[in-house]
Amino acid sequence: MAEEIRPRFYGCYNCHNHIALHDDIVRKDFVAGNRRRAFLFSHVMNVKLGTSMDRRLITGVHLVADVHCSDCGTILGWRYEKAYDEAQKYKESKTVLEKYKIVKDNW
């Protein structure tokens, strides 16, 4: 009998709403502007986006939107809407979640 493989989720640290799948992590070595660890995800779920605005980050100016938990409204990270630097284009439409704001669920 095949063993059931359950997806490994990350949840909101505040309300445990499922936000992202472990398999959707693109990079684990991200550092947020405040020098905290963060992960880059190709896809997230159950979130609401704030207003997009240009923000100067360590790697240059990007058009970004805050990512809020759809349940409790906590800001969990941000989404790259547009990168102006060619080398940063791979980040477009991907989401950064700060490590301390997400918790492992189901693994």
Of positions 36, 72, 89, 92, contacts Zn ion by CB under 5 A: 72
CB of 9 to Zn ion, least distance (A): 13
Told to check if 19 binds Zn ion by CB under 5 A, we report no
Of positions 10, 17, 20, 79, contacts Zn ion by CB under 5 A: 17
Told to check if 66 binds Zn ion by CB under 5 A, we report no
Told to check if 15 binds Zn ion by CB under 5 A, we report yes
Instruction: Give Cα 107 distance to the centre of its chain.
Output: 19
Nearby residues of 62 by Cβ (< 8 Å), 6 or more positions away: 54, 55, 80, 81, 82, 83, 84, 88, 91
Does residue 47 sit in helix, strand or coil?
strand
Count, residues near Zn ion per rule CB under 5 A: 7
Pick the stretch among 15-23, 25-33, 60-68, 98-106 that binds Zn ion (CB under 5 A): 15-23
Nearest to 53 by CA among 82, 30, 87: 82
Instruction: Give Cα 85 distance to the centre of its chain.
Output: 20
Kindly list the residues in this chain that would bind Zn ion in the complex (CB under 5 A).
12, 14-15, 17, 69, 71-72
